[in-house]
Chains A and B, each alone.
Chain A
Amino acid sequence: MVEKTRTTPVIAAGLALLVFFGGWFVVTGHGWGHLLILAAWGGYLVSAWLGIRKGSSAAPFHTPLLTSIMILLAVYGIVLYLGSYFWGAFLIIAALGVYALEKGLKDGKEILKESLKASLKNLMIPFFGFFSALIIGVFIMLATGYDPIESYAALFYGGLVKNWSVSILNATPLIFTGLSIAFAFQAGLFNIGAEGQYYVGAMAATFFGLYLNLPPLLTILLIILISGALAAAWNFVPALLKVKTGAHEVITTMMLAHTARYLSPVFIRTFGGDPATSTHAYVTDPILETSFLPRFKGFLPDTNYRLHIGILIAIGVALFVHYLLFKTRIGFEIRAVGQNPNAARAQGISIGKNIFRALLFAGFLAGLSGVVQVLGLDHKLFLNLSGGYGWNGISVALLAANNPIGVIFTALIWGILDAGGQYMIRVTDTPNSIVEIIKGIVLFLIVARYIYVYLGNRIKRRSLRRIEAKNAAGGRA
């Protein structure tokens, strides 16, 4: 989309910084940050226009114009929607419209239609799986004597409207762990120990949050980078063992996950959680306020108090992981090693190097999950901090077929089901286990994709046979 118009790296970096600081000021409650973003937009359009005038870019001017409008609409729309300002949906729809317009202008109506059809087709299996699971859920509820209509109404009202902020808070750490597992899967590795890296990230974030007293933006960035790096380092030994001895990462990362999990009580004792003095045993002292992630409340007054910008970081990181995997040399090598290590090696790609890259970055991503949870939501570390985000990340990654963008949505679905389930048990008699059953069925129906291929072929064959029979009958008559 943007790739046709080339801005020089210096200008691009300048504009990116402008957008970054603009965004930061906006989320910390300084409305004039919007002006910086608008300035960056203007700057981008000017540089694109100059590029076209000088002939260094072949694209017509409406391409960068429409693309940038689309991105602005989408970003503002998504942020508003996430903050329970549901009219943000209109902006998102408008962004989709602008996207279709731009693609239609560039490639013509036919290609636009085809790509629409293809994306609808890709969505079919997940939708079908999800709705089938809901229908099976109806039967289960009928059989066990609960009211399915009332329960589902509560489930979705709770998950999508009433407790929407809870859904997002649930989804945020899941996006990170889902990305971690999906990324490792792309290299053919199963980072089953994401839970451990989550704890390492959370512990490191708590430690630095207690002691690092710098300006907020700097503190947060430093904590994210250092804690993420430590979580990545947690995967160093599994990567080393995998490369040197072939020890399977499922075993090594799993064992280190338990190690990290049971290190946390020791950590908590050391940093405040003393049952003799503290009223709350097994809770650390709260971290300094300079390291708190900004909250949506700061710029969207009508939103839930607890909602923090971790979800925006998660979406940004998911987009980055997608770019890394599918548009860069590193991602290309990782995918090649994941899909056929022998062929990759014969073309000079080092398998060991890519195992390190994949496992360390997967550790980093899972670590971010813990970091964001501590800096954004809990502001301290307590026992059983994780709601099994590391393990649930496996489901989220599988459901998304290891696609980073898909992970955002599958994590949201999980978050919605969890939040809605909590609401449902408060207002109806239906037990929460129904939600867990539905989750299991969704996972089964979507991951077992080959079922649909099989069914599809059968239907096709049957209709073909019918046509043949008709033809044969017609021929004889």
Chain B
Amino acid sequence: MSPKEERNVVLETRHIAKQFPKVLANDDISITLYEGEILSLLGENGAGKSTLMNVLYGLYKPTSGKILLHGEEVEFSSPRDAISKGLGMVHQHFMLVDTLTVTENIILGAEPGRGGVIDYKKAREQVVAIAKKYGLRVDPDETIENLSVGLQQRVEILKALYRNAKILILDEPTAVLTPQEVDELFEVVKTLRNSGVSVIIITHKLEEVMEISDRCYILRRGRQEGERLTRGATKAELANLMVGRDVVLTVAKTPHTVAKDPIMQLEHVTVLNEKKVQALKDCSLDIHPGEIVGIAGVDGNGQSELAEVIMGLIPVESGRIMHEGEDVAKLSTRQRIFKNISYVPADRQEFGLVLPMTIAENIAIGYHEKMPYCRGLSLDYSYINRHAEELVASFDIRTSSALAPAGTLSGGNQQKVILAREFSREPTFLLVSQPTRGLDVGAIEYIHSQILAMRDRNVGILLISMELEEIFALADRIMVMYEGKIVKELDPEKTDEKEVGLYMTGGNA
């Protein structure tokens, strides 16, 4: 990397402030982007990263401050302006038309050709040429719905490049990707940098900042907390700047005695998925009270089926599921919940919460047919609301009231509502899937310490996670899953991420 002074400034913001009706989302932000660098914008959820990028992209008008492009002051009144000046943005949620092909999606809104007639042949050639130039392999004739998430993201990047983007903004680009896809994305980003594109990555993941970026700015509560060259910085330093206090990146784990008899045993469980293909193959597993068993694996290798079959959401094809020595494989989900089997699902908004319902109702759901939640046919709302108020306080859920709809909470607080519900039910066995996906450092710390506290209260815990860091931070035993099978059991003390990663991808049997 050449020293700073020699490089051209591409984009600059000067004292940007953005006031929303109730919050000051950006307060005096001045950042500089140099040509051909990868810049990270690091901050917790709600720190103002996305607001700043939306200001840059012309979606929001700044309340005050200036944007300078190549030293000239510019004012974008819409994304169209920003695009014409060479900015491109890849949103967290892709803006693609599922039923159209890759080429059609890329040219959409900037179709080549004369009048109303689109020159598809030319379009396809251009797309292929750009893909080749930046090393972004993708079939130009495939429809979007047939592509994996990683490839869809690639199409989004191509879309920006097709419009001659020289500055590319990626909003939380790895949130939806598998570890391999993350690696591939990083390769692509590096290729882009080397061919002169400047990249801004918005993220709250420290590892990514360390791995990919040259420089980073840290935002907290709408203010700029600092600027660091990645080479000289440490994770702990960045985390402290980000959260504003000392953060424990890995929660201390005390040794804990494990009971001898397992609380939950899977015996040769086989499960078919919707397409009648074996998603779990002869899976055997036992979890003892007081231990955390971590399931490591690339997404889509049977983890979701494992969780669903334990909760009775899909039927077992063969095998037994033993809870406290009793086969629960034929019981309904409700009966399993009443046997103190608790579940923190991976997708908290889709499977964990009923967003329009109140926090109190979301805490009651599942137990709403039990005393004291109901009296006869009626629900006892005075108990339900009082109970929820207590849990809101003890789990530090940030909300105005337990009667607020769950959908009004931030992601971290939504997850806390689920934890409050499941952990307060005194589970004997706890199934935790992706508990910190998309959450910021502070929330992760809290949730990890809560899970460890449950372990120390002699709960048997099965942790499913795509984040190896999380597995290593929490698990007492690591089980690696690959194509529906448990391929290897490892001791976290005696292995490393590299070895686990190897088994995760089917290597080294």
| Contact A340–B353 (Cβ < 8 Å) | yes
In the bound complex, what is the Cα–Cα distance between A346 and B63 (angstroms)?
45
Other contacts beyond A332-B364, A336-B354, A344-B354: 10, CB < 8 A: A329-B374, A332-B361, A336-B357, A342-B350, A346-B333, A347-B366, A348-B338, A349-B365, A461-B21, A464-B21
The answer to the question of B356 belonging to the interface, with a C-beta cut-off of 8 Å to chain A, is yes
- Residues of chain B from 371 to 429 with CB closer than 8 A to chain A in the complex: 374, 377-379, 381-382
| Contact A333–B378 (Cβ < 8 Å) | no
In the bound complex, what is the Cα–Cα distance between A464 and B63 (angstroms)?
11
| Contact A343–B352 (Cβ < 8 Å) | yes
Partner of B368, one of A3, A333, A339, A346: A333
The answer to whether A468 and B353 touch (CB under 8 A), given A328-B379, A349-B334, is: no
Q: Which residues of A contact B369 (CB under 8 A)?
A: 329
The answer to the question of A327 belonging to the interface, with a C-beta cut-off of 8 Å to chain B, is yes
The contact string, 1 if C-beta is below 8 Å from chain A, for chain B 324-337, is: 00000000111111
| Contact A343–B379 (Cβ < 8 Å) | no
Partner of B354, one of A328, A339, A461, A468: A339
The answer to the question of A330 belonging to the interface, with a C-beta cut-off of 8 Å to chain B, is yes
The answer to whether A468 and B332 touch (CB under 8 A), given A332-B368, A344-B365, A348-B337, is: no
The answer to the question of A295 belonging to the interface, with a C-beta cut-off of 8 Å to chain B, is no
The answer to the question of A62 belonging to the interface, with a C-beta cut-off of 8 Å to chain B, is no
| Contact A343–B354 (Cβ < 8 Å) | yes
Q: What residues make up the interface of A, taking CB atoms closer than 8 Å to B? A: 3, 327-330, 332-333, 335-336, 339-340, 342-350, 460-461, 464, 468, 472
The answer to whether A327 and B355 touch (CB under 8 A), given A346-B313, A347-B337, A349-B334, is: no
The answer to the question of B441 belonging to the interface, with a C-beta cut-off of 8 Å to chain A, is no
| Contact B382–A3 (Cβ < 8 Å) | yes
B211 to chain A, nearest CB (A): 34
**27 contacts across the A-B interface (CB closer than 8 A):** A327-B379, A328-B377, A328-B379, A329-B377, A329-B378, A330-B377, A332-B361, A332-B368, A340-B350, A340-B353, A340-B355, A343-B351, A343-B354, A344-B354, A345-B313, A346-B333, A346-B343, A346-B345, A348-B333, A348-B335, A348-B336, A349-B365, A350-B334, A460-B21, A464-B19, A468-B19, A468-B63
Q: Which residues of A contact B379 (CB under 8 A)?
A: 327-329, 332
In the bound complex, what is the Cα–Cα distance between A153 and B357 (angstroms)?
44
| Contact A347–B21 (Cβ < 8 Å) | no
A470 to chain B, nearest CB (A): 13
The answer to the question of B243 belonging to the interface, with a C-beta cut-off of 8 Å to chain A, is no
Most buried by A among B313, B335, B337, B377: B377
A352 to chain B, nearest CB (A): 12
In the bound complex, what is the Cα–Cα distance between A191 and B505 (angstroms)?
49
In the bound complex, what is the Cα–Cα distance between A342 and B337 (angstroms)?
16
- Residues of chain B from 53 to 68 with CB closer than 8 A to chain A in the complex: 63-64
Query: In the complex, which residue of chain B has the Cβ closest to the Cβ of A461?
Result: B21
The contact string, 1 if C-beta is below 8 Å from chain A, for chain B 65-89, is: 0000000000000000000000000
| Contact A345–B354 (Cβ < 8 Å) | no
Q: Which residues of B contact A460 (CB under 8 A)?
A: 21
| Contact B378–A327 (Cβ < 8 Å) | yes
| Contact A327–B381 (Cβ < 8 Å) | yes
Q: Which residues of A contact B338 (CB under 8 A)?
A: 348
In the bound complex, what is the Cα–Cα distance between A330 and B356 (angstroms)?
17
In the bound complex, what is the Cα–Cα distance between A350 and B374 (angstroms)?
18
Most buried by A among B313, B336, B338: B313
Query: In the complex, which residue of chain A has the Cβ closest to the Cβ of B61?
Result: A465
In the bound complex, what is the Cα–Cα distance between A328 and B373 (angstroms)?
11
The answer to the question of B311 belonging to the interface, with a C-beta cut-off of 8 Å to chain A, is yes
Q: Which residues of A contact B364 (CB under 8 A)?
A: 332
Q: Which residues of B contact A345 (CB under 8 A)?
A: 313, 333
Query: In the complex, which residue of chain A has the Cβ closest to the Cβ of B312?
Result: A348
Q: Which residues of A contact B63 (CB under 8 A)?
A: 468
In the bound complex, what is the Cα–Cα distance between A251 and B381 (angstroms)?
37
| Contact A340–B354 (Cβ < 8 Å) | yes
The answer to whether A328 and B357 touch (CB under 8 A), given A333-B368, A340-B350, is: no
| Contact A342–B374 (Cβ < 8 Å) | no
In the bound complex, what is the Cα–Cα distance between A345 and B312 (angstroms)?
10
Query: In the complex, which residue of chain A has the Cβ closest to the Cβ of B421?
Result: A347
Most buried by A among B338, B343, B354, B369: B354
Q: Which residues of A contact B19 (CB under 8 A)?
A: 464, 468
Shortest beta-carbon contacts, A-B, top 6: A348-B334, A347-B366, A348-B333, A340-B354, A346-B351, A348-B337
Query: In the complex, which residue of chain A has the Cβ closest to the Cβ of B348?
Result: A343
A465 to chain B, nearest CB (A): 9
Most buried by B among A344, A346, A460, A464: A346
Query: In the complex, which residue of chain A has the Cβ closest to the Cβ of B19?
Result: A468
Q: Which residues of A contact B377 (CB under 8 A)?
A: 328-330
B340 to chain A, nearest CB (A): 13
In the bound complex, what is the Cα–Cα distance between A423 and B381 (angstroms)?
47
Q: Which residues of A contact B332 (CB under 8 A)?
A: 348, 350
| Contact A342–B351 (Cβ < 8 Å) | yes
Partner of B356, one of A328, A329, A339, A344: A339
Query: In the complex, which residue of chain A has the Cβ closest to the Cβ of B307?
Result: A346
Query: In the complex, which residue of chain B has the Cβ closest to the Cβ of A345?
Result: B313
Q: Which residues of B contact A347 (CB under 8 A)?
A: 333, 337, 365-366
Most buried by B among A3, A332, A461, A464: A332
The answer to whether A329 and B351 touch (CB under 8 A), given A348-B333, A348-B337, is: no
In the bound complex, what is the Cα–Cα distance between A56 and B443 (angstroms)?
44
Q: Which residues of A contact B354 (CB under 8 A)?
A: 335-336, 339-340, 343-344
Most buried by A among B338, B343, B379: B379
Q: Which residues of A contact B337 (CB under 8 A)?
A: 347-348
